[in-house]
A = this chain, B = another copy of it.
């Protein structure tokens, strides 16, 4: 039933999953980039996506902790450095740059980092990601990072669309995404090469495809939760952020 693919076939199968299930297709993102959201809806997005941003170095540390080869660890640790930055300058690193966005949108920083107002579904999705990289094989954990193959396109759409369509969005609060345009392709190239060279059985190849499907699903689920709560029909769960809350302006 399952046959062995060549590395090129496996890459094509991975890219086909992105073409179908990556969250650039989600209606929330289409609205975000087209300028169809209110400032409060953009705040809800930035607030909740903090949960995901916070998870990235945690899941990368969990992956690092499973790598028994020095050569692999030397490469992978850069991801953690990219997101955590250096101690000397609190403004460095992806997580700090994300907080520049939530600051710029007027959200209280302590409120954001406490995740008190985050949607439970967003937190659960992020938790599932950490579980995944801890419990599945190292190969599957690495394969789950391959959504970065698809991120340059969505980042360009986002930066261009948000700058053009929202008067409250400026280049300096979108600084996170500029850095990701360099980092993500470097990381994705490494991971793709690793996966296509190491997934050498039909079973491993299918597991890598499933890992990417899982990852697309966890990204999608976060936007689903945002959409229901803050776009349509606007059902905010008990305890989650309500427009006006924790905002200074």
Is the CB of A180 closer than 8 A to any CB of chain B?
no
Q: B220 touching A224 by the CB < 8 A rule? A: no
Q: A217 touching B120 by the CB < 8 A rule? A: yes
Which residues of the other chain, B, contact A227 by a CB distance below 8 angstroms? Answer: 228, 233, 235
Instruction: Tell me, in angstroms, the Cα distance from A121 to B120 when the chains sit together.
Output: 10
CB-based nearest B residue for A228: B228
Interchain CB contact (< 8 A) of A217 among B21, B228, B238 = B238
Give the interface size class of chain A: 20 to 34
Is the CB of A33 closer than 8 A to any CB of chain B?
no
Which residues of the other chain, B, contact A21 by a CB distance below 8 angstroms? Answer: 238-239
Which residues of the other chain, B, contact A119 by a CB distance below 8 angstroms? Answer: 221
Q: B20 touching A238 by the CB < 8 A rule? A: yes
Which residues of the other chain, B, contact A216 by a CB distance below 8 angstroms? Answer: 238
Instruction: Tell me, in angstroms, the Cα distance from A16 to B87 when the chains sit together.
Output: 44
Instruction: Tell me, in angstroms, the Cα distance from A239 to B21 when the chains sit together.
Output: 9
Quick one: CB contact mask for A76-112 with B, threshold 8 Å, 1 for yes? 0000000000000000000000000000000000000
Instruction: Tell me, in angstroms, the Cα distance from A162 to B204 when the chains sit together.
Output: 45
Q: A213 touching B239 by the CB < 8 A rule? A: yes
Interchain CB contact (< 8 A) of A125 among B120, B213, B224, B239 = B120
Instruction: Tell me, in angstroms, the Cα distance from A125 to B120 when the chains sit together.
Output: 8
Q: A131 touching B127 by the CB < 8 A rule? A: yes
B-contacting residues, A121-137, CB 8 Å:
121, 123-125, 127-128, 131
Query: What are 18 sample pairs from A and B whose C-beta atoms fall under 8 A apart?
Result: A21-B238, A21-B239, A120-B214, A120-B218, A120-B220, A120-B221, A121-B124, A121-B221, A124-B125, A124-B127, A127-B127, A127-B131, A131-B131, A216-B238, A217-B239, A221-B237, A224-B235, A225-B228
